Structure 1
Amino acid sequence: MPSFRVTMTVGALMPGVAPEQVQPRAEEAAREVAVLESSNVDVVRGEARLTVRFTVEDAELALQVARFVVSSTAEVVRVGHSTVTERDGGTWRRLG
């Protein structure tokens, strides 16, 4: 099954939310609708980025999963830009 990932910039926490709640929320959302492979948080050029990697059958489903993960994550933290990529051999190819 193909591997995809959604990467989103994350900012301010919603009131009452602890930082350690953000990544698990994104993981739970992915698990609800796909097979979660991994997740991680990085800081790139001063921006926090949350990446969730998952598998589903095709790119159309991957875009739906990504929208769900982003909207679920946005309940606990401000989400800026997001991108969805598909593993293509040794590289990641952007979707949508």
Structure 2
Amino acid sequence: MPSYRVTLAIGALAPGVAPDAVLPAAARLVAELAVVEAQDVRLLRGVPCAVVRYEAGEDELAVAVARHAVDGLAGTVEVRSDRVTRRDGARWTPIA
């Protein structure tokens, strides 16, 4: 089964939300629809990002999983942008 990842650029947090709660919440939302393979926090161009890697049968499902995570985080954190990529050999290919 193909491996995908969603990279969420994180902005402002809602009052009372701890920064270390964002990644587990994103992974939990992804896990509602897919098998989570890994989760990580990265700093990309100075912006903190939550990255969740997961399995999905096809690109459309992978995008739906990412949408579910973004929508689920809406009340707790500003998601400035999101990007879905698919593992193709040694590369991560963006999904349009």
* TM-score, normalisation: structure 2: 0.94
Q: Report the AA paired with residue 37 of structure 2.
A: E
Percent identity for Structure 1 against Structure 2: 44
Tell me by how many angstroms 1:55 deviates.
0.1
Tell me by how many angstroms 1:3 deviates.
0.2
Quote the residue 1:76 is aligned against.
76
Tell me by how many angstroms 1:72 deviates.
1.5
RMSD (Å), alpha carbons: 0.9
Tell me by how many angstroms 1:87 deviates.
0.4
Query: Which consecutive unaligned segments of at least 5 residues does structure 2 have?
Result: none
Deviation by residue 1:48-94 (Cα, 9 ceiling, x = unmatched):
11111000111110010010011122322111111100001110111
Quote the residue 2:3 is aligned against.
3
Query: Which consecutive unaligned segments of at least 5 residues does structure 1 have?
Result: none
* TM-score, normalisation: structure 1: 0.94
Q: How many residues align?
A: 96
Deviation by residue 1:25-45 (Cα, 9 ceiling, x = unmatched):
101101100000111111122
Measured in 1, the distance between the counterparts of 2:57 and 2:45 equals 33
Deviation by residue 1:11-37 (Cα, 9 ceiling, x = unmatched):
111111111211111011011000001
Q: Report the AA paired with residue 41 of structure 1.
A: V
Q: Report the AA paired with residue 22 of structure 1.
A: V
